[in-house]
Amino acid sequence: MSKTAVVVLSLLLAMAGIGAPIWFAIAQSERQGFEAVSRQALAYARDILLRSDETGAQIAVGVDRLARDHAAAPCSPASIDAMREIDVGSSYIQAVGYLRGDMLVCSSFAGQSSQFSLGPADYRTANAASFRRNVRFPFAPQRSFIVIERNGFAAVIHKDLPIDTAKSEPDVSLAVFSRQSTTPLSVRGHIEPAWLGRLGKAREAAFVDGEHLVAVVRSEHYLTAAIAAVPLRYLRERTSDVARRLVPVGLAAGALLTLAILYLAREQMALPAAVRSALRREELFLLYQPVVDLQSGRWVGVEALLRWRRPNGEIVSPELFIPIAEQHGMIVRITERVLELLCKEAAGLLAAHPGFHIAINVSPADFHDPGFLDGLHAALRGMGAAPGNLILEVTERGLMDPDVARTTTGVLRRNGFALAIDDFGTGYSSLAYLESLELDYLKIDRSFIEAIGTEAPTSQVVQHIIAIARDLDLSMVAEGIESEAQAEFLRARGVQYGQGWLFGKPMPFAEVVAHMRGQAAVQAMAANDA
């Protein structure tokens, strides 16, 4: 990626880093504000419905008692006494009486001494109950009452009793509806009957309509519903209150995220220069991990692993700097440096152990480099080694250009170099394509070795890879072996070679030399004993 692209991308990410947390904070403020005010509105509606349901329950008990015990003489002294007992014992019923037509002919508050015309019922329900929403009695003309009658017996309640809540919030609109009528039984403030339709089949709902946040709750026991409508300024005030707490947090998070993005961008732009400096200052070095014959346990070779030690002692992973080197045209120079280090460290060893090999990783760019083959021969001369002592490992990704891959692998094989496909199974090579290349080894990626003996989905893949290697007549090297159980599994299935911490961690070349001397001494003693 070019420096300009990195700068542009960094600026875009920085803008997102600032904006995203703020946007998130504002969105959270709105969500929390809506949830808080919705809870408040629903609490009002539930309280109204609770009062309405309890009122309905008391009416049902009282009226059913009168209809059961006093239907024959509804205005007898015994019936009026029962009415007064129900009246006194109820927390919501104001009075009980008996109707003949539209006339209240006797009641708990007037006995048989006064009769009142209540006017026609506003509506009747399916269970034969009639409702009068605005009844005024001569002795209390300034008050409106609701009268609910069934089987001739009626209960009288204060019209405002169900909505006698939220007194500290006078601008909150409240109402109780029978779901069989669009006119509220009791109402305070502005209520739209259409809000009932927003409930659908739900038990309760909260939504914004116009300048109100509305909560609607349906009764589980009666054909009634309650509505509470809170002015939107409540929502705005709550949102602003939450935003005053969250937006500064969002700003701080945005600032930290932006600083992190800018730091990473600076590091990204600085890394290519740092890799060039590492090459110039010779900060790159090699460690070697043994490759063993799985049947005998004998070391047959090593893989040279490149590392970078910065001046402050920090070890930089090749997974970080190799992609940078590839992107900025330095990977060929890094391969040259690997060969230089091999010449310096391995001189003489391969001549003394002609059956031993060293594997190095090469990149697609090396295949395109016209000086690659000459560089390999020069390194062999410096080490006093033959082409067969050097194995070139390339990933599946490095073989994705078919023409270059076929030509280069063919040339390298004709010059005596052995070729291995590295990290097999993690790329996209087809079996037919691999058959067209001249390869010697297939390296099974450590991710498949780790899955051996587990329930992981990839646990069976290693057996398919082994079958592919056999079909291609390739020797196999399993990477990342860490347990004897893994080694035995591979050994039993014909995998020839392995490497991993079970056999040895990456080490300086001096330790490789020491081991080879010890291995040679053991072999000499065995030969003498024979």
* pLDDT tens by residue, 318-334: 888 888 888 888 899 99
Q: Examine residue 266 and state whether it is found in any structural domain, yes or no.
A: no
Could you tell me if 198 and 286 lie in one domain?
Answer: no
- For the chain, how far is it from start to end, CA to CA, in angstroms? 63
Tell me if 263 is assigned to some domain: no
Q: Domain check: are 27 and 98 in the same one?
A: yes
Residues 295, 195, single domain; the answer is no
| Residue 34 parent element (H or E) | helix 3-69
What one-letter code names the amino acid at 217?
V
Give the Cα separation of 299 and 293 in Å (integer): 6
The closest alpha carbon to 175, from 186, 164, 161, belongs to 186
Strands in 123-124's sheet, in edge-to-edge order, are 116-117, 103-107, 95-100, 153-158, 140-150, 130-137, 123-124
Q: Which residue segment(s) compose the domain that 149 sits in?
A: 3-233
R_g of the chain, CA atoms, integer Å: 44
235/230 Cα distance (integer angstroms): 8
Helix (H) or strand (E) holding 515: helix 509-529
Nearest CA among 461, 471, 472 for reference residue 439: 472
CB atoms within 10 A of CB 211: 10
Burial 274-307 (b: 16+ CB within 10 A, else e): bbeebbeeebbbbbbbbbbebeeeebbbbbbbbe
Are 333 and 193 within one domain?
no
Sorted by sequence, the CB contacts under 8 Å of residue 65 that are 6+ apart come out as 82, 86
Is the distance from CB of 134 to CB of 159 less than 8 angstroms? yes
User: Where are any strands of DSSP class E within 470-517?
Assistant: 475-478, 497-498
Amino acid letter at 327? Answer: Q
Q: Does residue 240 sit within a domain?
A: no
Tokens 């204060």, residue located: 158
In this prediction, residue 70 carries a pLDDT of 93
Long-range contacts of 203-209 (CB under 8 A, 24+ apart): 204/42, 204/45, 204/46, 206/38, 206/41, 206/42, 208/34, 208/232, 208/235
Q: In this structure, is residue 502 part of a structural domain?
A: yes
Q: Assess whether 292 and 407 both reside in one domain.
A: yes
Task: Return the residue matching tokens 């004897």.
Answer: 484
In this structure, are residues 419 and 391 in contact, taking their beta carbons and an 8 Å threshold?
Answer: yes
Q: What's the confidence (pLDDT) of residue 233?
A: 78
The DSSP bridge partners found for residue 149 are 130, 154
Would 252 be classed as within a structural domain? no
Distance CA(45)–CA(38), nearest Å, equals 10
Helix, strand or coil for residue 514?
Answer: helix
pLDDT at residue 423, as a whole number: 73
Tokens representing 200 are 């659908």
d(CA 193, CA 171): 18
Distances 122 to 8, 119, 131, 186 between C-alpha atoms, Å: 72, 9, 6, 13
Q: CA 319, 322, 325 angle in degrees (round to 5)?
A: 150
**134 lies in some domain:** yes
* Tens place of pLDDT per residue across the chain (530 aa): 444 444 444 444 445 445 555 555 555 656 676 777 788 888 888 888 888 888 889 999 999 999 999 999 999 999 999 999 998 888 888 899 999 999 999 999 888 888 889 999 988 887 778 999 889 888 778 888 999 998 899 999 888 777 776 665 778 889 888 888 888 888 888 889 899 888 888 899 999 888 888 999 999 888 889 999 888 776 667 556 554 554 555 555 555 656 665 555 555 556 787 888 888 889 999 999 999 999 999 999 999 999 999 888 889 888 888 888 888 888 999 999 999 999 989 888 888 888 899 999 998 888 888 899 999 999 999 888 889 899 999 877 666 677 777 888 888 888 999 999 887 766 555 566 677 778 899 999 888 888 887 777 666 788 888 988 888 889 999 999 999 999 999 999 999 999 999 999 999 999 998 988 888 777 777 667 65
**What's the pLDDT score for residue 507?**
93
Statement to judge: residues 299 and 411 lie in one domain: yes
Do residues 211 and 133 both lie within one domain? Answer: yes
170 shares its domain with 287: no
For 249, the token pair is 């947090």
Per-residue confidence (pLDDT) for residue 431, from 0 to 100: 63
Domain boundary among the residues 202, 218, 233 is at 233
Q: Which residue has the tokens 């629903």?
A: 42
Is residue 219 located within the same domain as residue 348? no
Same-domain check for residues 186 and 334: no
Q: Which of 233, 250, 268 is the last residue of a domain?
A: 233
Tell me the two tokens of residue 287: 């460690």
What CA–CA distance (Å, rounded) separates 304 from 66? 101
Q: What's the residue count for the chain?
A: 530
- Domain total in the chain: 2
Residue 491 belongs to some domain of the structure: yes
Are both 201 and 347 inside the same structural domain?
no
| Last-in-domain residue among 233, 252, 274 | 233
Residues 37, 123, single domain; the answer is yes
User: What SS3 class is residue 323?
Assistant: helix
The CATH number linked to 417 is: 3.20.20.450
The whole-number pLDDT of residue 407 equals: 83
pLDDT single digits (tens) 337-355: 999 999 989 888 888 888 8
Residue 113, judged by CB atoms within 10 A of its CB (0-12, 13-18, 19+), counts as exposed
Residue 272 lies in a domain: no
DSSP element (H, E) containing 33: helix 3-69
